[in-house]
């Protein structure tokens, strides 16, 4: 008899997930507590997000001896990614922190900033600060990012120093 996968303890993302802007990380696969503490928490101003996931393409590997064409894993890419944050009537908001062409890291801690849990670290460059203009919604700024190298996924969140 097969063993079932462990039952998940499901959770609601809002109020749990943390997203940080880290200006510097020496090793994206092992961010230090000092690097995390030097970051800026964005979740309190984040109204929406898009992207922030990797995908892998497949490459066909046909062989003359079979009509079936198997595949192997191919290139890894990251989706176009953005964070949409609330704009301030005073103009003092995310626009001062995440200016165009700024390089750094976005760290996602999906289950919260809990030592021993895991998070993802995305090396990024800010590509734009688009002002979201809609009639019946509060003002927002959509910060778009290019993912500049392969993200480090499932990295352990370090304990407080």
**Boundaries of every domain in the chain:** 18-156
User: Which one of 1.10.10, 1.10.3470, 2.30.110, 1.10.1740 gives the CATH number of domain 18-156?
Assistant: 2.30.110
Q: What is the pLDDT of residue 20?
A: 98
Q: Mean pLDDT throughout 43-62? A: 96
Res 161 pLDDT > 70: no
pLDDT band at residue 160 using 50, 70 and 90 as cut-offs = confident
Q: What is the pLDDT of residue 65?
A: 96
H or E, element range at 35: helix 33-37
Torsion-angle region of residue 102: left (phi > 0), alpha (psi -120 to 50) or beta? beta
Res 104 pLDDT > 70: yes
Rounded to 5°, angle at Cα 115 from 113 and 121: 60
């Amino acid at each position: 008899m097969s063993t079932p996968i462990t039952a998940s303890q499901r959770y609601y993302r809002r109020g749990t997930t943390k997203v940080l802007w880290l200006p510097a990380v020496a090793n994206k696969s092992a961010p230090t507590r000092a690097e995390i503490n030097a970051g800026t928490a964005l979740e309190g101003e984040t109204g929406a997000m898009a992207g922030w996931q990797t995908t892998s393409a497949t490459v066909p590997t046909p062989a003359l001896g079979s009509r079936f064409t198997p595949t192997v894993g191919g290139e890894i890419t990251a989706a176009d990614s953005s964070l949409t944050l609330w704009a301030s009537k005073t103009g003092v908001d995310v626009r001062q922190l995440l200016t165009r062409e700024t390089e750094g890291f976005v760290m996602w801690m999906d289950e919260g900033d809990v030592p021993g849990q895991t998070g993802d670290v995305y090396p990024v460059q800010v590509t734009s600060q688009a002002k979201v203009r809609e009639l019946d919604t509060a003002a927002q700024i959509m910060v778009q990012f290019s993912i500049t190298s392969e993200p480090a996924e499932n990295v352990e969140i370090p304990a407080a120093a």
